[in-house]
Amino acid sequence: MIGRYKMAKHFTITIGEGTFSYERNEASIDQEEALDGIYVIRTSEPAERLSAEDTVRSYKSLTRVEQAFRSMKGIDLLIRPIWHHTENHVRAHIFICMLAYYVEWHMRKTLAPLLFDDEELDENRKTRDPVKPVKPSASAKQKKVQKLTLEGLVVQSFDTLLEELGTRCRNRCRI
């Protein structure tokens, strides 16, 4: 036997004179599998001020911040890179980007009954188990299946609703 090597901690490889063999390291695989999906969140806040559940909820709310930045950097707000040469111009550009996202956020909240969004998600966030996967509310399931609101309007995505609203105009003529 020339040598015995470990590869990626889950396999044992044996290389010999004219031979090569490998086998799964079941103990290593089982040990890692037991930790799948587990993470640890630590805070300096006392338990009286922030419960373990609220700590997890706060951590998970970071995804909304990340989504906001993706929205600004991506195609949602259609803000292209602009090269500024002064600090005031950079600050103004950042302000406009944040303002655009703020307007979009309010529009999504206001138009939620017309969208496929789960309107009860924010209310349920405070009471549901923060670790278990989110389950859609009955009203969200109904909107998804029927593709109609309770008022009989067609449910849309935010993008298709904006397209539809973009075709509407109001002209006021005075004689």
DSSP per residue over 19-46, as a string?
EEEEEE-HHHHHHHHHTTT------SS-
Percentage above 90 pLDDT, the chain: 7
- Does residue 87 lie in a domain region? yes
Please indicate, yes or no, whether residues 87 and 29 belong to a single structural domain of this protein.
Answer: no
Please indicate, yes or no, whether residues 160 and 103 belong to a single structural domain of this protein.
Answer: yes
Please indicate, yes or no, whether residues 16 and 86 belong to a single structural domain of this protein.
Answer: no
- Does residue 62 lie in a domain region? no
> Phi first, then psi: what are they for 12, rounded to 5°?
-115, 125
Please indicate, yes or no, whether residues 147 and 85 belong to a single structural domain of this protein.
Answer: yes
Q: 13, 4 in Cβ contact below 8 A? A: yes
- Does residue 95 lie in a domain region? yes
HSE toward the beta carbon, residue 19, CA cutoff 13 A = 10
| pLDDT of 6 higher than 50 | no
Please indicate, yes or no, whether residues 92 and 154 belong to a single structural domain of this protein.
Answer: yes
- Does residue 144 lie in a domain region? yes
- pLDDT, residue 30, reads 85
Q: 108, 120 in Cβ contact below 8 A? A: no
Please indicate, yes or no, whether residues 93 and 158 belong to a single structural domain of this protein.
Answer: yes
- Does residue 128 lie in a domain region? yes
Range of the domain at 7: 3-34
Please indicate, yes or no, whether residues 19 and 95 belong to a single structural domain of this protein.
Answer: no
Burial class, 143, CB count within 10 angstroms (exposed 0-12 / middle 13-18 / buried 19+): buried
Please indicate, yes or no, whether residues 162 and 93 belong to a single structural domain of this protein.
Answer: yes
Please indicate, yes or no, whether residues 160 and 99 belong to a single structural domain of this protein.
Answer: yes
Please indicate, yes or no, whether residues 30 and 86 belong to a single structural domain of this protein.
Answer: no
- Does residue 107 lie in a domain region? yes
| pLDDT of 66 higher than 60 | yes
- pLDDT, residue 48, reads 92
Q: Give pLDDT tens digits for 117-164.
A: 888 887 777 788 887 788 888 888 888 888 888 888 889 998 898 888
Q: Read out DSSP for 92-128?
A: HHHHHHHHHHHHHHHHHHHTGGGBSS-TTHHHHHTTS
- Does residue 64 lie in a domain region? no
- Does residue 55 lie in a domain region? no
Q: In terms of Cα–Cα distance, which of 77, 174, 160, 81 is closest to 116? A: 160
**Block residue for tokens 């037991």:** 34
Determine the Cα–Cα distance for residues 32 and 34; give it in Å rounded to an integer: 5
> Phi first, then psi: what are they for 102, rounded to 5°?
-60, -40
Q: How many domains does the chain have?
A: 2
Please indicate, yes or no, whether residues 20 and 87 belong to a single structural domain of this protein.
Answer: no
